[in-house]
Structures are given as C-alpha cells and as structure tokens.
Chains A and B, each alone.
Chain A
Amino acid sequence: GESVGLHLPTLSVQEGDNSIINCAYSNSASDYFIWYKQESGKGPQFIIDIRSNMDKRQGQRVTVLLNKTVKHLSLQIAATQPGDSAVYFCAENPYNFNKFYFGSGTKLNVKP
C-alpha cells in the first residue's frame, strides 16, 4: 500500500489451482482500491476495483476481498493459467482525486 517496500514476494502455484494474492494497506482513510497486473515489458493492466462500501467484488475468474478492519485486500484468481504469470499490485486511494499509492507487488509464477 502506501508504504512501499523493497522485497518482491513470490507466489508459485500449479496451473488450474486457485491463487490468493494479499495486500496490506496502511492508510485507514483509503476507500478506493484497484488491483493491477504487470507483465514483463508492459505497463500495469487494470484487473478489478472495489470501493470501501463493499467487502467483495467479483469479475471474470477474479474476486477481490476487502477487510477494512485489518486494512487488508486480497485478490483471488480461479483456475490459474500460465497467462496469469505476472507481478500483481494493489493500489489504494485515500483522496478524492487520481493519486494512488501502489504496493510493492507480488510475483505470481504459474507452473504448467
């Protein structure tokens, strides 16, 4: 979240399994969150967003869960595919304008 770190954790999963990527955000005033996927050599790609008036939101093969009590966000990917291999970032926004704080990212490796 707002406190970026130097370490990039890695999650390795088998193709077909479900993946869960976690994110801890630091600003309790943040009320809009986005998950991005970044493949090598590309810019971040929007996956799904959620506002703080929701606890859960589903998209195609992805689900985002928001726990405001512990300031935690998670991204669940169902039936993970090799094409899901990338770095995933959560972004938080405590403002009423387009300034986002990005987490340090999690690298997802999908083994065939």
Chain B
Amino acid sequence: KAGVTQTPRYLIKTRGQQVTLSCSPISGHRSVSWYQQTPGQGLQFLFEYFSETQRNKGNFPGRFSGRQFSNSRSEMNVSTLELGDSALYLCASSLGLQGREKLFFGSGTQLSVL
C-alpha cells in the first residue's frame, strides 16, 4: 500500500507570493491533517480535513488555508508569504473512523521563503 505522498518536495518562494502544497493520503484514509515543523517551534497543528470539511483548526493566521477533495486528496495554501513561513510542511492521514487515531505522515514539503 502506498504511503502518504506530498508534492512538491521542495519549494522556493519570495515574500508576498502564495503557495499551494498537495497531499495524497493512504488509500482508504479519509482524514488529512497538516502540520508545520520548524527548528524553533517543532511540530504544530495547522488543520484537519475529513469528508471535504475542515474539522479542526490550529492557531495559525487566516493566510493558511486548505481544502479536501472528494477523493480525500488535500491541498494547503499559504497566501502573502512571510519569511517566518519557511518550514517543513507535513501532511498526515488517518482512517477518520475515530475521533483521534494514529497518524501516518508523508515526507513533507520543504518551503523556503526568501
């Protein structure tokens, strides 16, 4: 069974631009969560999607948004990029059958904002 796939693997953007990251969950998984990982703050929860609806949200500004498609694939968008948005963005999928479950992570998208 294929794991969680994130594309692209690396991205370089400049301040003020916007970016879209993609995540394909494990087949059969309906929940997709996004996390931001930085050396200073560690892993922080961004949001979770289930059945095309945002189910939960972390403490990030509105510049961070996402969506989920009917095939459970998810995208995350960051608008008006800031230098501090440079991070590894991780997507994780789970079955979505229970409130909280073990998460399976992709390898992430490394975003650098210049």
Chain A residues in the interface with B (C-beta under 8 A)? 4-6, 32, 34, 36, 41-46, 49, 89, 91, 93, 95-105
> Is B111 an interface residue, CB under 8 A from the partner?
no
Provide the residues of chain B in CB contact with A91, threshold 8 Å: 43
> Closest residue of chain A to B41, judged by CB?
A4
In the complex, are the beta carbons of B42 and A43 less than 8 A apart? no
Contact (Cβ within 8 A) A46 B48: no
Contact across chains for B42 and A99 when beta carbons are under 8 A apart? no
Give the CA-CA distance A89 to B55 in the complex, in Å: 24
Q: Does B107 contact A (CB under 8 A)?
A: yes
Question: What is the interface size of chain B, counting residues whose CB is below 8 A from a CB of the partner?
Answer: 29
Q: Which residues of A contact B100 (CB under 8 A)?
A: 32, 93, 95-100
A34, closest chain B residue (CB): B102
Q: With A43-B106, A98-B31, A99-B48 as known contacts, state yes or no: A6 contacts B99, CB within 8 Å.
A: no
B108 within 8 A of A: yes
B83 within 8 A of A: no
Complex contacts, A32 vs chain B, CB 8 Å: 100
Known contacts A6-B40, A49-B102, A105-B42; decide if A41 and B107 are in contact (CB<8 Å): yes
B74 at the A/B interface (Cβ < 8 Å)?
no
Nearest-neighbour CB distance to chain A for B7, whole angstroms, equals 13
Contact (A102, B42) CB under 8 Å given A44-B105, A46-B103? yes
Instruction: Return the contact of B99 from the options A42, A49, A97 (Cβ within 8 A).
Output: A97
How far, in angstroms, from A4 to B35 measured CA to CA in the complex?
14
**A27 shortest CB reach to chain B, Å:** 13
A100 surroundings in chain B (CB, below 8 A): 45, 100, 103
Q: Which residues of A contact B107 (CB under 8 A)?
A: 41-43
Further contacts, 5 of them, CB under 8 A, given A89-B42, A91-B43:
A43-B92, A49-B102, A95-B56, A99-B58, A100-B103
